Amino acid sequence: MKLNANETDAFRRDGYLVLSDLVDPVTCAALRHQADALVAAFEPDDVASIFSTTNQQQATDLYFLESGGAVRCFFEEEAFDATGALQVPKSRAINKIGHALHDLDPVFAPFSRSSAFEDIVTTLGVAEPLLLQSMYIFKQPSIGGEVVWHQDATFLYTDPVSAIGLWVALEDADIENGCLWALPGGHLHGLKRRFKRGAGGATFFDEMDDVAWRNEDFVPLEVRAGTVVVLDGSLPHGSRANRSIRSRHAYTLHVIDREAKYPSDNWLHRPANMPLRGFGSQI
């Protein structure tokens, strides 16, 4: 799927592009079914890793830090009661699955390497795309956590910035159930901070710009299932908590350019036997 000039111009101007009806309903259903199967097979045992963008607990969580080459489940922050016990069924407690579905899962891997995705990112200037990370996001009913305003390149930094996100709506997403919000043109003002891994695995934010984004400048991206939202790595975006009775499933894939430098102090590390691959190869 080659983007036309109007689409590429809109992406350069706004930092995002909304492509409706790109994924058919049968494929959306198959991806949802596979995610449900992964959660059903997940045995937490002593693992209760919580994903939260308002509380960076995962910063010292090896289960999270070592997930760059694995398929792992992370809980919603509000899935637990005050005693630490799950207060919802496991199937309604998972925030996301990450971060190597695109390499290791028999359903998500071929979907991630679709020619449509390759065409999109190469049209946008990624000379040699590498698939860096993937996530299945549930945005659970009632307890789906807020994702605070952020830039993907904060966590997936390259020099120069090359990250592009492909956010696939697997269910309808609207203001009520926690759709994406974006700051049009916000990618033009540079990166505010980087999330780094230091000595001994400790992580921290390296602040570069402390000017806050204004909530009123963000716009909602309400989309139907099957829509793909393309996100510039420097675009400020996020989503609000889901307090509705509907979930908001989505699959995200992040691509970087082989020609850009991927620093060793990025949080996401891959095992030596799992080098990054492009669209034409699988493990």
Cross-strand pairs, 219: 182
Q: Which residue has the higher pLDDT, 260 or 46?
A: 260
Residues 6+ apart with CB under 8 A from 108: 31, 34, 101, 102, 134, 136, 251
Report the pLDDT averaged over residues 38-57. 67
For the chain, what percent of residues have pLDDT higher than 90?
84
Pick the closest to residue 133 from 160, 107, 164 (CA basis). Answer: 164
Pick the closest to residue 77 from 55, 44, 47, 99 (CA basis). Answer: 55
Domain residue ranges in the chain: 5-257
Whether residue 90 contacts residue 44, with contact meaning beta carbons closer than 8 Å, is answered with yes
pLDDT of residue 146: 96
Report the pLDDT averaged over residues 160-172. 98
Tell me how far apart the alpha carbons of residues 17 and 19 are, in angstroms, rounded to a whole number: 6
Report the pLDDT averaged over residues 205-229. 96
Tell me how far apart the alpha carbons of residues 97 and 226 are, in angstroms, rounded to a whole number: 19
Whether the pLDDT of residue 57 is over 80: the answer is no
Handedness of CA 146, 149, 152, 158 (dihedral sign): negative
CA dihedral 240, 255, 27, 182 (to 10 degrees): 30
Whether the pLDDT of residue 56 is over 50: the answer is no
In CATH, the architecture of 5-257 is Sandwich (2.60)
Q: What is the mean pLDDT of the chain?
A: 93
Other CB atoms within a 10 A radius of the CB of residue 58 amount to: 19
pLDDT of residue 60: 44
Q: Looking only at Cα atoms, what is the longest distance across the chain?
A: 55
Q: Confidence class of residue 189 from pLDDT cuts 50, 70 and 90?
A: very high
Tokens 């001994």 map to which residue? 200
Residues 6+ apart with CB under 8 A from 251: 31, 101, 108, 111, 134, 135, 136, 137, 167, 168, 170
Tell me how far apart the alpha carbons of residues 48 and 75 are, in angstroms, rounded to a whole number: 7
pLDDT of residue 84: 83
Q: Confidence class of residue 107 from pLDDT cuts 50, 70 and 90?
A: very high
pTM summary value: 0.94
How many helices (H) and strands (E) are present in the chain, helices listed first? 7, 14
